Each structure stands twice: as C-alpha cells, then as structure tokens.
Structure 1
C-alpha cells in the first residue's frame, strides 16, 4: 500500500525545491563548520594585516593587505581540504599570478586587453606550476588595475605585499586548524600497496572498482572536480563500507568475537610469548599492563627475529567496542597487516578478540543465506 505524504510535508518540500539554489552544495558544509571558518577568517585576516603593518610600517604608497587574500581566506578556512586551498596553491598561486599581472601591465598598454590577458595567462601559469588558486585571478587583475601604488611597486608587488600576505595567512591557518583539531595542510590519501611485496594489488582492491574506473567516471563528467583522485578513491570505498554497515549492521562484534582471549603481560620474554602463540596456533597476542588494561599487541612475525630474552616488541593495537558493527572491521582485517582486532570495554580492558578467520566464517555464513540478487533469502532478518 502506498501512503501519501502529509500535506504540510509536501508543501515544505515544494518550498525547499524553489529555493534549492540557496542550499549548500559542499559535502560537510554544516553550520558549525561554517562558524569555525568565519572565526578562522576573522583571526587570519586581522593578524595578517597586523603583522604586515609591524614589519612594513604604514607605507601610504603600498597597500597593507591585498584584496585577493580575503578570497584566499575563504578557501583556507571554509574548505581547507580542497586542493585549491593548500599552502603552495595559496602562496604560489597568488605570487605567480601577481607576477603575470605585473608583466602584462608593463608590456600591454591597452587596459581592455591587459585585464583579460592577465587573468588568462595567470590561469595558464598556475596550471603549469601546479598552484591553481582562484584568488590568483584577482591578484593578476589587481596588478593591472591597482593604481599608482601597485605600478610604483612594480615587480616587487608579487613579493610585497602579495607574497608576505599569503605566507602569513598560510602560517596562521596552519596554527588555527591545529588549535581547532583540524588537519591542515590536507594529507592526501596514500595509495594502498601489497604488504607481501608482490605485483598483485592488495586483497581488498582485487574486486570492485579500481583507479581506471575512477578516471573513466571522472572523465564522463567532462568537468574538473575539486577533489584529488586518491581522496575520491578513499571516499568511494568508505561509501561502500557504510552501505555494508547499513545492510548488515545488525551483527555486532559481541556476536562473533572470541571471549576466552589468550593474553600476555608486558613483563614476559619474547620466547615465552612466541611459545604461547605456537601453543594456541594464533598469530596475535594482546599485551596487558599490571592492572589488566590493554597496552598493545605482539605478533608472531615480530617475535620471529627476536632473541629469546628480548623485551616484547609491542605494537599499537587495533581496537573495537563490543557494540560496533562487525562488518566495519573488514578494512582492518583485509589490509594485509592486521590479523586480529581486540575488543575492549570502556576501561580499556580486553573482553574479546576477532581474527580474520572469525570474520571470514561470519561472511561465509552470510553468503550462504544470500540469494542471487544479493538479498537475504531466508525469512529472518539476522545474518
């Protein structure tokens, strides 16, 4: 039976549809993020102007801060993950474009031609130097129509004040984002490698889409996207994982974890830990402190090269909570390096462990209940 939506909901949807052009088009563009961006721009621009005035003085013949820096602040504080907002894009893009603008203003006397030529050549120069930055177009334009002060500065203009303003803004942006708990400069996702040093791609990447598929999909849009291919790859794989969690999220870690966990304390020798691994035919041991809290893990691979009396080579443990979706462990247990995920409680005490075998057995059972269309063929909703 199809149930019609309530009349007020339909009316609300109609109103929203009329004003869809005013809706945010950037993913993650929440009010909180925008307010943080506003605060960052306030601090960044004010301090950039203040520091510039301290070092340069109030020169009446040279602008204290150039207008394109305001546009750079929008990118730096509102969309810091954008490739167009990275340090080299801001500093290099503004300086290169300003230099192009000054050069065009020197060689071309017709303002109508100079303004268009400056912006066009700035785009080309930024593209060639991998410093594409939209405010760079404004920097090039300012160099042409900036008036007597800019003309007097000549080829110093790309350095003072454009370069100084841009570098100060970037330094303040790095400090602000670090203080607010955000990552800047943006670290591009690293392409996965096969940890076994063979030519095969990592196990998780042998099915599904690959980089060629991403390139083909991007090419089909016939436009430039403001995201790197590596970040797009990570995003799409995270989408796949979220879809799996939604479809199979009713199975949690507590349902499949081993509860009788073999552990060692940090005081035992490498020989004793290796013996315990071999006795129980396992590959990972949680290491506990004297109060029984998790310190990390030790594996057979690390112990193989250790002298018998050596201290344990403890590695950071990959952990989960008992209520986490079990399907969410797939990326960890298929990366070629992690063989088990330790399940801990709120006090960091070990309550279970999930190995690759545990997850594989669960997935095999799930597949046996799945029909040819990928949907569960049984009457129940559990896996």
Structure 2
C-alpha cells in the first residue's frame, strides 16, 4: 500500500512545473511586448474593419502574441508559421462559411471539417502555429458576426498576423532578443570546410538522423537545439578538465604598443619578438584595440607589380589607432579554458588578451590552449 502511495505521489508531483529558466527581467520584457502588440493589433483592426470584427478575432491574436514574445526562439513563433497558419485559417473559414455544401451543415460537421483541414494544412506546409486552430474555431462559431466580410474574411486575419509580426520584430530586437531566429553563418575562410567543432563533434546529418528517429514535432529551432547540445558538451568537458583558468596558461611577459605607435615601429616589434599580434593599450594599460600582420597587409591592398614607394612610406608612418581592430574580444583571468576554445577555433582569433579589473595582465594564444589540452590528456592517460 505504501509503495502505491509513493508511486501516486511521484506521478502527482511530476505534474508540477519545473524551475523556470528565465529571469524576472525577461518576464517583464515579454509581458510588456504582449500587451503592446495586442493593443496595437486591436486598434488597427478596429480602425479598418470595425470594433466587432476586431473583438471577435482578438483572442487567437493574444495567444499568438504569447508565443512571439515569451518563446520567440521557438519554431512555432517564427514568421512563416504565423503567416502560413493564419492564411490557412482565413481561407478555410471563408470556404466553410460560404460553400453551399458546408454553409448549411450542422455545427458538429463544419467545426471538425474546418479544424482538420487547417491542422493538416499546417503540417503539410510546415507552418504549425496553434492559435490558428483557435482562429478557425472562432470563425465557425462567430459566423453571423463575420458574415458581412464575405470572401474578404482572410484580410483582417492576415492584418492581425502582420501587426503581430511587426510588433514582435521591432520590440524583440530593440529589447535585445533577436527575432526572427536565424542561425548565424560563420565562414571565416570562404571555403566549404565545416567549422572546427563540427569536424570533431556531431554534424547536421547526425542531428537530422536523431530528429528522424525521435519522430515527433519539437518546438525548438534547429540552431537552438544544436546550441543546447554543444553547451551541454562544454559543461561536461569543463567538469572533466578541472579548474584550468586563463591565468594559469597565459603569457605574462607580453609586448604591447600604444595607439600612436607607427606601422614602421610595429613591424620592427613583429620581427624582433616573432609574434603575429600586438595589443594596443593606452597609458593606463587598458586595451584599445589589437593589431596583427593581417591588419597591416590589408592596408596595402595593391595590385601585383604596382607597389608605389610613396604610398608605402605613407603607410609606414600611419599611427596604429587608424588601422587597429577594435573592439577586442578579451577574457577575464578566471575564464575557464573550455570557454576559450570556441573563441580561438570558431571565431578565427589567434590570441585573447587577459584582463584583470580592465587592465591587461597577459595573453592566451592557440598554442597555450593546445598545451593545456595536451597536459590534461596526459594526466587522464597516466
């Protein structure tokens, strides 16, 4: 008996919500966006089609607003699902209300036919958006109120969809949330090679096969799913590698240049110290930029055989603050080595200035990270 009660209690507690992964600031941001979008949508719809039509169609718009602002990175909240599903709902609703074969049928016939058609259409067109089903129900139940629109019924529905997408795009991006969600494409060398982490980890084909085996619909974009998996791998690797921080592997006796250092002087330092990059710092030791051999060569950009001595002399006398790369990607001295790996591999960086209270205290290069990984591998094999 006690085992049955324990099993029942576990099942009941399993219904409770898990810990929310967002912060109160995000709650306020999202709720403000939902409120503004719904008010704007109702105002414009009532202005163009009257308050009755606007009121009838507002319920599904409110549900769509929650997806667009609260879970804006989800697959259901992207522009095509919103536009495609609303268009399907509008066309299906207009057909059900005005086709002779369905207009005179019972509600118990029209409603399932309309819902089934919209859901099947959303799956076929890959535009699944649940509020469109609610829109279909509203159209069928409020047929008398929407009948004056006739065949123009899809227009106010699409107006709502466009208003919501406009508000979501503007508000989300202004408040620091990228929308629509797009996977950033990184192609540093303009070749067909995969990114370094994709060569040694899972590939898009691996992800496709896993999703095919799963078989069910997942409300998350492919890019976000990939990012979650890679972040999980990084967390596991960080746990296995122990406490290797930037301050343990960085070079401390580094060479820096000032913003007013000339190209000629920088070239001399590159030759003397056999380095490829030099941090540009001010008199207080704060990093202003970074200069590399690639930056210097890019300034010449002259056709072969036409290197003019006058231009080369002017180039050599330029101060570095005119050609340096800024702002600079930096790390804190407590940054874990696992967090530095993607910066040095995927972003094409060759070194990372290490800061302590805003002042440069060292430099971590690709060589330093490789040495740390080698030492960790030796320790695990020992």
Superposed CA deviations along residues 175-205 of structure 1, whole A, max 9, x for unmatched, are: 44345x3414143223544x34444323332
Structure 2 residue 353 is matched with structure 1 residue 358 = no
Residue in structure 1 matched with residue 73 of structure 2 by the alignment: 81
Residue in structure 2 matched with residue 381 of structure 1 by the alignment: none
- Find the aligned partners of 1:237 and 1:369 in 2 and give their Cα distance: 24
How far residue 77 of structure 1 moved from its aligned partner, in angstroms, is 2.4
* Among candidates 160, 167, 184, match of residue 162 of structure 2: 167
Superposed CA deviations along residues 76-128 of structure 1, whole A, max 9, x for unmatched, are: 22211112112343244223321222123322232433322322332344455
- Find the aligned partners of 2:119 and 2:317 in 1 and give their Cα distance: 63
How far residue 294 of structure 1 moved from its aligned partner, in angstroms, is 0.9
* Among candidates 198, 204, 222, match of residue 215 of structure 2: 222
C-alpha contact 1:62 1:150 (8 A) present in aligned 2:
no
Higher helix share: 2
C-alpha contact 1:101 1:122 (8 A) present in aligned 2:
no
Structure 1 pair 309–97 and aligned structure 2 pair: CA distance change class (3 A) = farther
Residue in structure 2 matched with residue 333 of structure 1 by the alignment: 344
Superposed CA deviations along residues 113-154 of structure 1, whole A, max 9, x for unmatched, are: 332232233234445555331111222233333221212212
Q: Is 130-139 or 336-345 further displaced after alignment?
A: 130-139
How far residue 34 of structure 1 moved from its aligned partner, in angstroms, is 4.5
> Secondary structure of the residue that 1:271 maps to in structure 2?
helix
Residue in structure 1 matched with residue 354 of structure 2 by the alignment: 343
Superposed CA deviations along residues 250-302 of structure 1, whole A, max 9, x for unmatched, are: 11111111111211122223333233223212222111235432112121112
Residue in structure 2 matched with residue 234 of structure 1 by the alignment: 227
Residue in structure 2 matched with residue 243 of structure 1 by the alignment: 236
Q: Is 354-363 or 225-234 further displaced after alignment?
A: 225-234
- Find the aligned partners of 1:100 and 1:298 in 2 and give their Cα distance: 61
5+ long unaligned stretches in structure 1: 1-10, 372-376, 378-383
Give runs of ≥4 in structure 1 deviating > 6 Å. Answer: 11-14
- Find the aligned partners of 1:156 and 1:354 in 2 and give their Cα distance: 64
Q: Is 359-368 or 146-155 further displaced after alignment?
A: 146-155
* Among candidates 206, 228, 252, match of residue 199 of structure 2: 206
- Find the aligned partners of 1:89 and 1:290 in 2 and give their Cα distance: 54
> Could you tell me the TM-score, scaled by structure 2's length?
0.82
> Secondary structure of the residue that 2:280 maps to in structure 1?
strand
Q: Is 313-322 or 13-22 further displaced after alignment?
A: 13-22
C-alpha contact 2:241 2:376 (8 A) present in aligned 1:
no
* Among candidates 12, 15, 28, match of residue 21 of structure 2: 28
> Could you tell me the TM-score, scaled by structure 1's length?
0.82
Q: Is 126-135 or 273-282 further displaced after alignment?
A: 126-135
- Find the aligned partners of 1:45 and 1:12 in 2 and give their Cα distance: 45
Structure 2 residue 29 is matched with structure 1 residue 19 = no
RCO higher in structure (CA 8 A, sep ≥6)? 2
> Secondary structure of the residue that 1:201 maps to in structure 2?
coil
* Among candidates 272, 278, 294, match of residue 285 of structure 1: 278
Structure 2 residue 36 is matched with structure 1 residue 43 = yes
How far residue 61 of structure 1 moved from its aligned partner, in angstroms, is 6.4
Structure 2 residue 281 is matched with structure 1 residue 273 = no
Residue in structure 2 matched with residue 94 of structure 1 by the alignment: 86
C-alpha contact 1:73 1:169 (8 A) present in aligned 2:
yes
Structure 2 residue 107 is matched with structure 1 residue 114 = no
Structure 1 pair 305–103 and aligned structure 2 pair: CA distance change class (3 A) = same
* Among candidates 317, 327, 330, match of residue 309 of structure 1: 317
Kindly tell me the number of residue pairs found equivalent between the two proteins: 356
> Secondary structure of the residue that 1:304 maps to in structure 2?
helix
C-alpha contact 2:45 2:160 (8 A) present in aligned 1:
yes
C-alpha contact 1:319 1:341 (8 A) present in aligned 2:
yes
How far residue 352 of structure 1 moved from its aligned partner, in angstroms, is 0.8
- Find the aligned partners of 2:53 and 2:71 in 1 and give their Cα distance: 34
- Find the aligned partners of 1:39 and 1:17 in 2 and give their Cα distance: 35
Residue in structure 1 matched with residue 306 of structure 2 by the alignment: none
